[in-house]
Structure 1
Amino acid sequence: MDEFNFIKAIKPKYYKHSSVVKGIGDDGAIIQPNYSQQLVIATDTMVENIHFSLEYMSFEDVGYRVLAANLSDLAAMGSQPLYYIVNISSSNQVSNQELVRIMNGMKELADSYKMDLIGGDTTSSNQLVVTVTVFGQVDQNKKRLRSVAKPGDSVFVTGYLGESGYGFKLLQLGDYQHHNHFIKQHIRPRPRLDFVNTTATIDRICLNDVSDGLSSELNEIADASNVSMLINWEDIPVHPDMTYLEGFELEKLLLSTGEDFQLVGTCSQNDLKQIQINCQHAGIKVSKIGKVLDNNHDPTVYINKNGTKSRLDSQGYQHGKCKGD
């Protein structure tokens, strides 16, 4: 890796945000935050053969996907994206040109949200590891926290669930040509920043992104808000082309596989009606899947399936473990 030439190749010619005082080129970036907004920071790391594989992904896909995961976190906070920082560790078998391709994949997504690359670092390692840190801004009264769910709220999700996991299954089977929609949902998911813009007028929304599986995200909300929830299995949105799947397989995809980067949240029943109207105009599917219950001092998520109510424990992706472990 030739770090000097790599930095030269990816350094922006100009910055989109006037708040960037100094970007790439010094020991640190300098930004002048908007004092009427609060800064939101999120970071994520993806490791080759754990979170992605170059057997079925291009270098551009890798860059796109790791930035998309971070932007999904910003969306779950109700934040507008501003800047990003990239750290890459790779072996000598990865060329500068291939590293630039990773950055180009990120730039493709970043440019659509007018984000600025303001720094990063490169190191040598035995495998390819990409870490991205993103910065966003949010009005202090419009931040979306896991801790603001209230009894009586409706529970909702955006889009369809299980699509990314199904796409991953198809890739494992070597089905790269068919079902392109699902494979794209796994390789190049689109973060739900459109939901942020569409619901900006709503005062209180509790949000979490479905990166680790619906069951895990719901339990995180329940714990943070000290509430319980009841989810209806029949109301969880499933893509029509996935309804043929067997019961256990479909249940795993919808409840625990994760990496959909859709949003799950709660809000008042009246606000949900307005959200669904706004989102319908914007082409965003929003489905009510349950309700928030009164707290009984033991935050619990329940699921009602075929008339039977049972506890839905966290079963999602555990960081540090490879998919399939």
Structure 2
Amino acid sequence: MPHSRSRRPTPLHEFQLIKTLHRRYGTTGPHVVRGIGDDAAVVTPIKGHELVVTTDLLAEGVHFDHKTATFQDIGYKAAVASLSDIAAMGAKPDYLLVSLAIPSSRTASDIQRLYHGLMLACRPHGVELIGGDTSASRQGLFVNIVLIGSIPSGRALTRDGAQVGDLLYVTGTIGDALAGLRLLSLRPGTKGSLLGTKKDPAQGLIRRHLRPTPRVTVGQILSAQRLATSAIDLSDGLSGDLRHMCEQSHVGAQIDRDALPISSALRRYADMSKVDPVDVALQGGEDYELLFTVAHPHGKKVEQLGRQVDCRLSCIGIIKPEAYGFRIKDHSGSVRRLPMLSYQHFHPKAHNRPEGLWSR
């Protein structure tokens, strides 16, 4: 019996890629006058709304690694990074533009899978792909996302509205994505989708790293009901993003160690790895949960919101005067300074640690 020939990868051609994208994703709604295929997109603004615009740049070797993520995973998470920014503003995501710098080693199928991941994340929120750009690259794959959203005028959530006495809330659980990344780094060359089963706690953590959930609905409700006084998404880690929000608001904060929402899977990972799960929760970025503040009288409304959207909402602390700084209280009631554990680009050690991959 003769050997079957392996199918040769389809080479990448810019204009053929544009035609393919237009065929697959070019159908748009009534507000898009011109989309994929023209020199620029044309959209009709919604009366009484403001535009909310965010962009994210992802570089191979810094934000993603092909040893641990498929092209679909890369596209999915690239979209989530921007969706989460829009969620933190309380806005509705509407339009997506994607620009790629592509090395010659990548095929048409690779890039199509990346776009499939992008749209897999965006389609549930009604996001339409309306354009982008492509270029050759000599330094690996680069992905630039521009996401445009909308919100009723004057309703955007911002980082600068927290007041002393406000309660601190966070969605979901935190630290899972970092634990998932560390688990993947122990298995170089193995894609996350091939590890374990859905019932395996390790697989759950890996999925939280590769396929996080943007809290778009929660953000929109917080804005619509005027519940949040400030908000930020957790892309760099709680210990750092809390500081970013509070510095904009000119306040300090105290968080309760025992109130941090830590999953059973993370606790199991921490026990096996001999690490403190709280440290992972404080350090871990890319959970893409929302951290927000609420005036004290609205605490019960937030609890009702959690049940309404089937999302865990945990009160983890309180806003303090700026001079108080940032502190954490343990189960005994003692208070200490909150360590700064979050990932920072351009730090001398940033590229020597696995947490650097997939961090913004």
Shorter-chain TM range is over 0.9
Q: Is the 8 A contact 1:148 1:204 kept in 2?
A: no
2:19 is aligned to 8
Q: Is the 8 A contact 1:40 1:135 kept in 2?
A: yes
2:180 is aligned to 167
Q: Is the 8 A contact 1:216 1:313 kept in 2?
A: no
Q: Is the 8 A contact 2:167 2:296 kept in 1?
A: yes
2:214 is aligned to 191
Superposition deviation, residue 204 in structure 1: 4.6
Spell out, residue by residue over 1:135-164, the C-alpha distance to the aligned partner (whole angstroms, 9 max, x if none). 001122321111000111001111111010
Superposition deviation, residue 314 in structure 1: 3.4
Superposition deviation, residue 200 in structure 1: 4.2
Superposition deviation, residue 130 in structure 1: 0.9
2: distance between equivalents of 1:198 and 1:31?
25
Counterpart secondary structure, 1:273: helix
1:202 alignment partner, one of 225, 238, 243? 225
Counterpart secondary structure, 2:160: helix
Of 168-177 and 29-38, deviating more is: 168-177
2: distance between equivalents of 1:75 and 1:201?
12
Superposition deviation, residue 240 in structure 1: 1.6
2:110 corresponds to 1:98: yes
Counterpart secondary structure, 2:96: strand
Counterpart secondary structure, 2:97: strand
What letter is aligned with 1:252?
Answer: D
Superposition deviation, residue 202 in structure 1: 2.5
2:345 is aligned to 319
Spell out, residue by residue over 1:224-279, the C-alpha distance to the aligned partner (whole angstroms, 9 max, x if none). 00111111111111102222425754233111121110011101122221021122
1: distance between equivalents of 2:31 and 2:279?
44
2:329 corresponds to 1:304: yes
Superposition deviation, residue 88 in structure 1: 0.8
What letter is aligned with 1:49?
Answer: G
2:171 corresponds to 1:146: no
Superposition deviation, residue 313 in structure 1: 4.6
Superposition deviation, residue 84 in structure 1: 0.6
1:273 is aligned to 300
1:235 alignment partner, one of 259, 271, 275? 259
1:136 is aligned to 149
2: distance between equivalents of 1:257 and 1:237?
13
1: distance between equivalents of 2:97 and 2:290?
24
Q: Is the 8 A contact 1:202 1:271 kept in 2?
A: no
Spell out, residue by residue over 1:179-206, the C-alpha distance to the aligned partner (whole angstroms, 9 max, x if none). 2211111001110112124434422511
1:293 alignment partner, one of 282, 295, 320? 320
1: distance between equivalents of 2:279 and 2:141?
29
1: distance between equivalents of 2:343 and 2:180?
16
Segments ≥4 residues shifted beyond 6 Å? none
Spell out, residue by residue over 1:96-136, the C-alpha distance to the aligned partner (whole angstroms, 9 max, x if none). 12111111111112211111111111111120111111000
In the superposition, the TM-score normalised over structure 2's length comes to 0.85
2: distance between equivalents of 1:116 and 1:221?
30
Q: Is the 8 A contact 1:213 1:258 kept in 2?
A: yes
1: distance between equivalents of 2:55 and 2:128?
16
Q: Is the 8 A contact 2:162 2:319 kept in 1?
A: yes
Spell out, residue by residue over 1:46-97, the C-alpha distance to the aligned partner (whole angstroms, 9 max, x if none). 2222211222221111111100111000000101000011011111110112
* Number of residue-to-residue matches in the alignment: 322
Counterpart secondary structure, 1:165: helix
1:217 is aligned to 241
Q: What do you get for the CA RMSD once the two structures are aligned?
A: 1.8
Counterpart secondary structure, 1:287: strand
1: distance between equivalents of 2:26 and 2:99?
20
In the superposition, the TM-score normalised over structure 1's length comes to 0.94
1: distance between equivalents of 2:339 and 2:248?
15
Q: Is the 8 A contact 1:144 1:204 kept in 2?
A: no
1:181 is aligned to 204
